[in-house]
Structure 1
């Protein structure tokens, strides 16, 4: 009996995972994680070896693709049963080939390279309602809320293996004009939240210098010991490189010069598509890619919750090797990495004109237990009032783009939107790219990554 199978004995059918599952809450037909995880695994264990799948088991297989992989069941379980892992393993019971749509969504690198090479054409086409209907009918893709590719010239340039070059000035630099906040293009807009109270550019530069001098001293030895690799992930690589640029510049202000990894995928989209064989090949490739650097003491930081969750948890569960454990111990979510620099950040940030913001905690951040670290970093900014919302957005990577998931996905999103509109914030902050896109779509409220807010506040 495997170690994972033994953990089934810890499941007491308390149904905490059921009540935490957003799919089960919004779809009365969905059996839920308890049934598709521990219960289905028990059915497998009870069957004779080689006897195939029992009729009772077959009835449940059609629901496995309804799991979005949000990991809320793992967080909710009071006995540490790896419910989400059991559900993933049970997906191997299914038979049949994957559709063209699923293969496309599982290949964000290929789509990203094609999309960024032809960004203007691709973005225009994806917003065309006629093409959206064709994709819906032929591929089962719902692109009512299309993603937007970044232009190739704006992408982050990998620097891993050679000295990091200075990054270009971020478009998020704070304007020197009083009372005029900035948008993601660096232009002023009356409705944007991050605002400087200094009346002149010169005064602002002087204040920044004074605050930097007040920060803790950074010794040459300390700088020499810093070995950091930034892993942007597919979302930043191909859709929102400005988040990566803001983070790299924020690190630079703190005295950390990070290398940027190659444009590789963490493998989570493949896992979501149920292609475990190709997923494991991707995991092994990435483990080999990072091993020499981890052996040399490099730390790996990412601004994507799904990427950090993959490296810290999913690789360990799926590959179960010493290399996976070693990588997991070297990976940090951006908030984990920045938390020791809180004193320096507090000395660098400028006050903002009082703003009411919501900090949204994505599911994959909650699965890592690092959500409040990001909140605490933003609380360093005087004048920024934060409320916390932890509901699922319903998008879950590529899950919300599948036609068969649209009903439950949008139902979950509307529940979250009701919470947000009741608070009526001027801005929403979330560290997850897919959450950001879905939240801004359903709420109509400007949504930014935390590092964009932090970088704007220290400029």
Structure 2
């Protein structure tokens, strides 16, 4: 019998077949997850491998199919260690979107990566220390946000960048993102919190690390746009969404952050609040990765009530008419849809919306990955590969009519600026310009 065949009884319903097998853990020591149904749905069509941007440029990377269901089957039969190639997965999650049979690929990858880090990686190694720093960017950003000018001077120094590369393996090819002189939360507190009160239209803003410490203008735009539609906006205390932690196998760190976020946001849902994120990786984390990986009270509620900001307005407001009646000074954009936005079905929303805005030309620069994938492109050994992955995006941007980029993802914006020199805007910033 081939691996693609199923030993199930065709006379039974799918539910009955599922109930008949004895649960087998994906990895030893796993107490809350059985991925056998999803793994057995894999019939080796290789759609996930074809969609993988890392496999396209890295001949040594075996691809999502091996990292997910094949590795699961191997561990099921033998007590094998997780293959170290799992650390080359960028966590772009395009494989989830590509799979025609619903195999939980990224869930498998995250679980495998967490086990590899816990059990196989040397905790004193340069790779582990570097990955731990990158995974906990929120901690670094908190320190940088206290002394932004000093932090910007130090992190922007070429000597420091070379030392970081030599000692930690953080590439010196990239300029470290500057910290804002006033964080979003400082601005929020200074303005006195919500400026609109409503019993019916309520949202809780998950700003994430980057909009707080590096691009508070995105958070400000989000607040002003939502308030212009009559929403009461609140900003609960929060931790990192966990996205960089998932990508680096730091699942204990991610679970601690998730617990705080679930506690602070899920309790608002019965009061009529939905959760809004301005970063597609943050919304993806709260929506998909939290309930896939953690068993925390309230986590399903949080997932079901989380939206990306533009998506939410398109669902609940007549945003298209509002934009159609507005106008801005002439400007042209080269738009890139983040992988984590594509996975939520949001890849066309900005293009569709802003093509109706008088004064704007916007062009989709294709479906290629930006290549940076959060922390992936910051690693010395991955930098060249990240730039190879991004080559199509760079080429399309340079041939687009606009010389300003647009995306919802902060690390995609880093890569876009790095590869083209273009200024990058978030869709919320253009929406603020048009409507507020």
**Contact 2:323–2:354 at 8 Å: present in 1 too?**
no
* Aligned residue among 262, 267, 271 for 2:246: 271
Give the corresponding residue for 1:129. 158
Give the corresponding residue for 2:142. 113
Would you say how many aligned residue pairs link Structure 1 and Structure 2?
394
Structure 1 position 144, deviation (Å): 2.3
Spell out, residue by residue over 1:145-195, the C-alpha distance to the aligned partner (whole angstroms, 9 max, x if none).
2233333434334869x973449xxxxxxxxxxxxxxxxxxxxxxxxxxxx
1:323 corresponds to 2:336: no
What is the CA–CA distance in structure 1 between the aligned matches of 2:195 and 2:208, rounded to whole Å?
Answer: 20
Give the corresponding residue for 2:333. 357
Spell out, residue by residue over 1:299-357, the C-alpha distance to the aligned partner (whole angstroms, 9 max, x if none).
1101011110011100110014562211111111012211032156236522442x442
What is the CA–CA distance in structure 2 between the aligned matches of 1:158 and 1:12, rounded to whole Å?
Answer: 52
**Contact 1:142–1:401 at 8 Å: present in 2 too?**
yes
Give the corresponding residue for 1:282. 257
- TM-score, normalised with respect to structure 1: 0.81
TM alignment of 1:164-183, pairs within 5 A: 164-166=193-195
Give the corresponding residue for 1:428. 405
Structure 1, gaps ≥5 residues long: 168-219
Give the corresponding residue for 2:102. 80
Q: Which has the higher contact order (CA 8 A, sep 6+)?
A: 1
TM alignment of 1:305-384, pairs within 5 A: 305-320=280-295, 323-339=298-314, 340-341=316-317, 342-343=319-320, 345-346=322-323, 349-353=326-330, 355-384=331-360
Helix, strand or coil for the counterpart of 1:404?
Answer: coil
* Aligned residue among 397, 408, 411 for 2:385: 408
**Contact 1:147–1:239 at 8 Å: present in 2 too?**
no
Cα 1:230–1:402 change in 2 (3 A) is same
TM alignment of 1:8-19, pairs within 5 A: 8-19=39-50
Give the corresponding residue for 1:95. 120
Helix, strand or coil for the counterpart of 2:381?
Answer: helix
What is the CA–CA distance in structure 2 between the aligned matches of 1:423 and 1:277, rounded to whole Å?
Answer: 43
Give the corresponding residue for 1:148. 177
Give the corresponding residue for 2:233. 258
Further displaced range: 257-266 or 11-20: 257-266
Runs of 4+ aligned structure 1 residues displaced above 4 Å come to none
Structure 2, gaps ≥5 residues long: 1-22, 25-33
What is the CA–CA distance in structure 2 between the aligned matches of 1:406 and 1:351, rounded to whole Å?
Answer: 38
Helix, strand or coil for the counterpart of 1:122?
Answer: helix
What is the CA–CA distance in structure 2 between the aligned matches of 1:320 and 1:41, rounded to whole Å?
Answer: 21
Cα 1:380–1:347 change in 2 (3 A) is closer
What is the CA–CA distance in structure 2 between the aligned matches of 1:257 and 1:377, rounded to whole Å?
Answer: 24
Cα 1:143–1:453 change in 2 (3 A) is farther
- TM-score, normalised with respect to structure 2: 0.85
Further displaced range: 142-151 or 12-21: 142-151
Structure 1 position 413, deviation (Å): 2.0
**Contact 1:157–1:260 at 8 Å: present in 2 too?**
no
What is the CA–CA distance in structure 1 between the aligned matches of 2:320 and 2:85, rounded to whole Å?
Answer: 48
